């Protein structure tokens, strides 16, 4: 029997409005009978109505909201009674074990880091995204929390990503790669060369460099890079998938024969679309903070909200933050011993 | 009537062997009646046989070859009589106006830079790749010549890429973007912020930041980034296209109905495959050297060789290197005036 777990859910965030949050949360509650939810939002976000319809939901009414285009750190400092700040505070105080939001990614990162706090020893929390590789998915991090990264952050990202894949996806001894421009260890930017040697020393599952075309091949469970390269790369992957689907659609509409073909192959095309959809994985975990924090796409639909809330629940139950704390401490210990020796 | 132009072609390079080079060169010669070719290779690469079959081909026999896995700069220094070094020397001496190779990219970059030499004022030559965007293609550079880049290199890449798109693709006033992690000019890594402000001052067609998912949307004619991010991103795009096609293929084979559908839609799928194929654009131009230098994929087929040789001929005829020299000098002049004012 899984443990009871409480997830604070931001009812303000998301481009699709509170109705989508309600539907997604209801689906998550149906899927997981030991899940409790604190619906965090303003009166107009319908959090009290939501709580009145479900016994495992309670409302936390707030008075402020952080918009998508506000400066993240300033907004978090100024709006203490916003849904994002209050959601993170509920985790900090122990009322909830995790937080899900489809609001401003930057504000979630800032609030989680400032309010929940970093795991001891973690230099920079990182945002991770599961990529739909074949035959297996790959966790890419950082995808945008830290535009400028020192090589030592990357080694920590490897440790944190491996902990997540082990606990969430049940991968034994995850294979960790460094995103780079060649397979050989002599390849890369100055920063990548330093990161390679640090990762060899500190990351148990490190297996070497990963090139851009390896990201979707399932040859790595975790791939680390700085938040600039990771963000550009993630969006390039999403953009390419969408462009290829667009070319395909135009091709299928180009003749009656092709239209008929597309109709017959509808099942295959639908399953491809689902495989590539960001809704499938529900959101991006922020790793390295004290608590489970999952950030959804701004355009999250009910399916994505459901999956995001369920992933937050699993991340909390599986004690990912605790494992990260242990592994980071162990790596620091090993590295200190290495220096003494 | 187009001018007569001579392209030196490396008959050693390429995983597919000399037969593919021969077929590709023959196709290029048929497509362009004013094209002459110098076939550069060892006796065993059949360059003399090639010359004897076509009056617009002459052979340049060399004794050495640079392998794909040799250290580029060392190999170029050590092997003065290799096809890559000799091909670049033919351009330097004026016997040819351009060079095409499907051999080691690193060795081509090193040889072109050392032997042909840089255009005056160009700090770093850059490797550019045309991306198959819709509705129009986008030139991405640098895709791997310089793993570490200063912001001022990126501004020059913008000038060089715009010159190429103007002369080669007939784009009037190309729209130049900076690859970055957000649209706003306040977004990005420390290096991207500096590059943004330099590009505003120095690049006439600069229109702002380009995110990863904009690369295939045709909203920019040229997008610049450092060679690390560009290489990872280009390979991620190629890998995603190939993964999506793989998912599609498996989907089409999953049922009789889907198989029949795929058969009917064969034309549409074939044209998609061609759109995404690296053969379509034939190779990557190295911009900023004194002469036309096009580097093909190691796996170039005859179609890619043909297109690569034709692109080299067009790059030479259109005087891309000359335009780059003018524009770089003008930017340096404007920037010096700005400093004096």
- Check if the beta carbon of residue A201 is closer than 8 Å to that of residue A335: yes
Q: Which of A189, A236, A237 sits opposite B228 (nearest CB)?
A: A189
Sheet holding A98-101, edge to edge: A57-61, A35-41, A5-10, A98-101, A292-295, A284-287, A126-131, A138-141, A222-224, A176-179, A206-210
Most A-contacting residue of B240, B254, B256 (CB-CB within 10 A), to test interface: B240
Nearest CA in chain B to A148: B189
Distance CA A34, CA A5 (A): 7
The CA distance from B14 to B191, in Å, is 36
Q: Which SS3 state, helix, strand or coil, does residue A263 take?
A: helix
Average pLDDT over residues A153-168: 97
Answer whether residue B267 shows pLDDT above 60.
yes
| Mean residue pLDDT across chain B | 91
Per-residue pLDDT, A141: 97
B150-172, pLDDT tens digit by residue?
999 999 999 999 999 999 999 99
Cβ within 8 Å, pair A211-B180? no
CB-CB neighbours of B173 under 10 Å: 11
- Residue to mutate among A179, A191, A268, with most B CBs inside 10 A, is A268
CA-angle at A56, arms to A52 and A61, nearest 5°? 55
The residue of chain A nearest to residue B276, with distances taken between CA atoms, is A244
pLDDT in tens, B205-235: 999 999 999 999 999 999 999 999 999 999 9
Buried b (16+ CB within 10 A) or exposed e, B58-80: bbbbbebbbeeebebeebbeebe
Examine the pLDDT at B261 and tell me if it is beyond 90: no
Q: What is the pLDDT of residue B14?
A: 65
Interchain CB distance below 8 Å, B255 and A234: no
Of B74, B259, B264, B275, which to mutate for an interface test with A (greatest number of A Cβ within 10 Å)? B264
Residues B178-191: what's their mean pLDDT?
Answer: 91
Cα–Cα distances in angstroms (integers) from residue B48 to residues A18, B19, B41, B118, B295, in the given order: 74, 13, 9, 32, 23
Of A189, A215, A265, the CB nearest to B261: A265
Q: Given this model, what pLDDT does residue B137 score?
A: 93
Length of chain A: 341
Residue A341: is its pLDDT beyond 60?
A: no
Mean predicted confidence (pLDDT) in A292-305: 90
Q: Tell me the pLDDT tens digit for each residue of A61-92.
A: 999 999 988 999 999 999 999 999 999 999 99
Count CA atoms closer than 13 A to B315's CA, side-chain side. Answer: 35
Structure confidence at residue A338 (pLDDT): 60
What are the pLDDT digits (tens) for B74-121?
999 999 999 999 999 999 999 999 999 999 999 999 999 999 999 999
pLDDT number for residue A269: 73
pLDDT tens digits for B301-314? Answer: 899 999 999 999 99
- pLDDT at position A282: 73
Could you report the per-residue pLDDT of A208-250, keeping only the tens digit for each? 999 999 999 999 999 999 999 999 999 999 999 888 888 888 8
Helix, strand or coil, per DSSP, at residue A9: strand
ipTM over 0.85? The verdict is yes
Find the CB nearest A147 among B189, B242, B247: B189
pLDDT(B290) > 80: yes
Nearest to B265 among A148, A188, A261 (CB): A261
Does A231 contact B181 at a Cβ distance shorter than 8 Å? yes
Tell me: the pLDDT tens digits for A161-173? 999 999 999 999 9
pLDDT of A157 strictly over 90: yes
Closest CA to A42 of A23, A25, A67: A67
CA quadruple B184, B187, B188, B192: dihedral positive or negative? positive
Residue A112 is predicted with a pLDDT of: 97
> What pTM was computed for the model?
0.92
Query: Out of A216, A266, A267, whose CB is closest to B239?
Result: A216
Cβ contacts (< 8 Å) between A247 and chain B: which residues? 134, 272, 275-276
**Residue A251 to residue B241, Cβ atoms within 8 A:** no
Q: Which residues of A touch B242 (CB under 8 A)?
A: 213
Q: Which of B134, B211, B231 minimises the CB distance to A243?
A: B134
Residues on chain A touching B189 (C-beta within 8 angstroms): 147-148, 226, 228
A225 contact residues in B (CB cutoff 8 A): 232
Residue pLDDT, tens place only, A246-260: 888 887 777 887 788
Q: Give me the mean pLDDT over the B134-149 stretch.
A: 94
């Amino acid at each position: 029997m899984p443990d009871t777990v409480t997830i604070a859910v931001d009812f303000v965030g998301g481009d699709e409005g509170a109705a989508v949050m309600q539907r997604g949360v209801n689906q998550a509650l149906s899927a997981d009978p030991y899940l409790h939810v604190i619906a965090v939002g303003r009166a107009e976000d319908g959090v009290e109505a939501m709580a009145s319809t479900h016994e495992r939901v309670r409302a936390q009414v707030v008075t402020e909201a952080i918009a998508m285009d506000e400066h993240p750190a300033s907004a978090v400092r100024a709006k203490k009674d916003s849904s994002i700040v209050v959601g993170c505070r509920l985790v900090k105080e122990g009322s909830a074990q995790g937080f899900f939001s489809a609001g401003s990614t930057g504000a979630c990162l800032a609030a989680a880091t400032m309010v929940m706090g970093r795991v001891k020893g973690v230099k920079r929390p990182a945002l991770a995204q599961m990529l739909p590789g074949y035959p297996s998915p790959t966790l890419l991090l950082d995808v945008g929390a830290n535009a400028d990264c020192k090589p030592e952050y990357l080694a920590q990202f490897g440790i944190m990503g491996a902990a997540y894949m082990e606990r969430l996806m049940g991968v034994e001894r995850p294979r960790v790669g460094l995103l780079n421009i060649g397979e050989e260890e002599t390849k890369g930017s100055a920063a990548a060369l330093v990161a390679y040697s640090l990762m060899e020393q500190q990351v148990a599952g490190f297996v070497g460099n990963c090139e851009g075309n390896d990201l979707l091949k399932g040859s790595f469970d975790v791939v680390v890079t700085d938040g600039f390269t990771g963000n550009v790369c993630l969006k390039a992957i999403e953009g390419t998938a969408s462009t290829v689907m667009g070319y395909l659609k135009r091709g299928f509409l180009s003749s009656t024969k092709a239209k008929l073909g597309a109709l017959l192959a509808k099942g295959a095309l639908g399953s491809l679309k689902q495989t590539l959809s960001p809704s499938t994985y529900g959101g991006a975990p922020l790793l390295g903070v004290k608590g489970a924090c999952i950030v959804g796409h701004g355009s999250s639909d009910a399916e994505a909200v459901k999956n995001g809330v369920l992933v937050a629940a699993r991340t909390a139950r599986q004690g990912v933050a605790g494992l990260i704390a242990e592994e980071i401490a162990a790596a620091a210990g090993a590295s200190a011993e290495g220096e003494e020796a």
